[in-house]
């Protein structure tokens, strides 16, 4: 059986995960990593980036991280640490799709779930939406708990809901870019930029001097020159402040019209299942996570 093809097919992936959901965390993580990465996961003597991320799942439990991965709950934390000006304005949040009053929402907005990654719909013309289709999309995702797949404990107790954010894009672009910083106890070391999000996503990695790196991870590189964000230096200061005391966290930011906006905390990049290539980067990033 070609398990890699199964993991690329969402419906088959969910069926497989459902079958495996009662397996204890450690053997489950080893099995899924072997299927996805084609390698053994070393949890007894973790060395690589993926090894150590999965080791952290089992050995570093921080209940406060649940608030930080909740896209609603984290807003209070960001207000306290950075200020409300770093947050996208929101129009409301609802536990059920039928509670949403579309009449009071503007013509353009973004709908997303607060408890997972990828449950996002960008609405650019409210009059054209298919509410039945949209309802099925969000009701399906409200039922899912990301913890079941990746055993990422911060997500286990997040109460799922739908939220509506203000639609915002840079002045000169149609596609908003993510700036994703890999931070190790208050120190950002590398970051990547996600481009072409609406078509075929590309990931390009950079160091903290904005030198392009040879890393390939999850998606291929864009193959074109990418300009350094205007607020790059301030971004580094922001993520350093937010990540202090965390062995590893990926912090996503946006830059729009000369302002920085917070995206999300991700404590296990790619769920800890996607190795970096060339393999030297698995070693380098693994060395930065102190589990002594």
**Domain finish residue from 167, 191, 225:** 167
Is the pLDDT score of 4 beyond 50? no
Is the pLDDT score of 54 beyond 80? yes
Residue 169 pLDDT level (bands cut at 50, 70, 90): confident
Question: Could you tell me if residue 269 is inside a domain?
Answer: yes
* 231 and 194 co-located in one domain: yes
Q: According to the model, what pLDDT value does residue 172 have?
A: 52
* 34 and 67 co-located in one domain: no
Q: Which of residues 21 and 37 earns the better pLDDT score? A: 37
* 179 and 82 co-located in one domain: yes
* 98 and 156 co-located in one domain: yes
Q: According to the model, what pLDDT value does residue 183 have?
A: 98
3-state secondary structure the chain: CCHHHHHHCHHHHHHHHHHHCCCCHHHHHHHHHHHHHCCCCCCCCCCCHHHHHHHHHHHCCCCCHHHHHCCCCHHHHHHHHCCHHHCCCEEEEECCHHHCCHHHCCCCEEEEECCCCCCEEEECCHHHCCHHHHHHHHHHHHCCCHHHHHCCHHHCCCCCCEEEEECCCCCCCCCCCEEEEEEECCEEEEEEEEECCCCCCEEEEEECCCCECCCEECECCCCCCCCCCCCHHHHHHHHHHHHCCCCCEEEEEEEECCEEEEEEEECCHHHHCCCCECCHHHHHHHHCCCCC
Question: Could you tell me if residue 270 is inside a domain?
Answer: yes
Q: What is the mean pLDDT of residues 40-63?
A: 96
Residue 288, domain CATH: 3.30.470
Q: What is the mean pLDDT of residues 140-168?
A: 92
Q: According to the model, what pLDDT value does residue 81 have?
A: 96
Question: Could you tell me if residue 47 is inside a domain?
Answer: no
Is the pLDDT score of 49 beyond 90? yes
* 190 and 270 co-located in one domain: yes
Q: According to the model, what pLDDT value does residue 3 have?
A: 41
**Domain finish residue from 116, 140, 167:** 167
Is the pLDDT score of 173 beyond 60? no
* 203 and 62 co-located in one domain: yes
Question: Could you tell me if residue 76 is inside a domain?
Answer: yes
Per the structure, the complete domain to which residue 261 belongs is given by 52-86+170-292
Residue 12 pLDDT level (bands cut at 50, 70, 90): low
The residue assigned the tokens 């904005």 is 210
**Domain finish residue from 167, 187, 205:** 167
* 289 and 176 co-located in one domain: yes
Q: What is the mean pLDDT of residues 171-198?
A: 85
**Domains contained in the chain, number:** 3
Question: Could you tell me if residue 46 is inside a domain?
Answer: no
* 177 and 227 co-located in one domain: yes
Is the pLDDT score of 174 beyond 90? no
* 196 and 274 co-located in one domain: yes
* 163 and 184 co-located in one domain: no
Residue 1 pLDDT level (bands cut at 50, 70, 90): very low
Is the pLDDT score of 36 beyond 60? yes
Q: According to the model, what pLDDT value does residue 6 have?
A: 42
Question: Could you tell me if residue 21 is inside a domain?
Answer: yes
Question: Could you tell me if residue 101 is inside a domain?
Answer: yes
Question: Could you tell me if residue 32 is inside a domain?
Answer: yes
Residue 2 pLDDT level (bands cut at 50, 70, 90): very low
Is the pLDDT score of 132 beyond 80? yes
* 97 and 188 co-located in one domain: no
Percentage of the chain beyond pLDDT 70 is: 91
* 186 and 126 co-located in one domain: no
């Amino acid at each position: 059986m070609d398990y890699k093809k199964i993991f690329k097919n969402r419906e088959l992936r969910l069926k497989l995960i459902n079958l495996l959901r009662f397996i204890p965390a450690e053997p489950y993580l080893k099995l899924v990593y072997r299927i996805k990465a084609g390698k053994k996961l070393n949890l007894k003597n973790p060395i690589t980036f993926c090894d150590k991320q999965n080791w952290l799942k089992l050995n570093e439990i921080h209940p406060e991280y649940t608030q930080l991965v909740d896209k609603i709950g984290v807003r209070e934390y960001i207000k306290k640490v950075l200020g409300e000006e770093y947050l996208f304005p929101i129009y409301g949040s609802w536990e059920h799709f039928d509670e949403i009053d579309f009449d009071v929402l503007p013509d353009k907005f973004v709908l997303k779930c607060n408890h997972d990654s990828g449950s996002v719909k960008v609405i650019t013309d409210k009059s054209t939406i298919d509410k039945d289709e949209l309802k099925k999309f969000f009701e399906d995702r409200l039922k899912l708990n990301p913890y079941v797949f990746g055993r990422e404990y911060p997500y286990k107790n997040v109460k799922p809901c739908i939220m509506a954010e203000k639609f915002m894009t840079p002045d000169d672009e149609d596609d908003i870019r993510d700036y994703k910083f890999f931070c190790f106890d208050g120190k950002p070391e590398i970051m990547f930029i996600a481009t072409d999000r609406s078509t075929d996503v590309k990931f390009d990695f950079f160091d903290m001097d904005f030198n392009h790196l040879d890393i390939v991870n999850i998606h291929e590189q864009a193959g074109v020159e990418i300009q350094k964000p205007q607020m790059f230096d301030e971004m580094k200061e922001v993520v350093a402040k937010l990540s202090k005391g965390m062995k590893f966290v990926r912090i996503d930011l946006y830059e729009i019209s000369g302002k920085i906006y917070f995206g999300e905390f991700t404590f296990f990049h790619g769920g800890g299942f996607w190795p970096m290539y060339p393999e030297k980067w698995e070693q380098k990033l693994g060395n930065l996570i102190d589990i002594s």
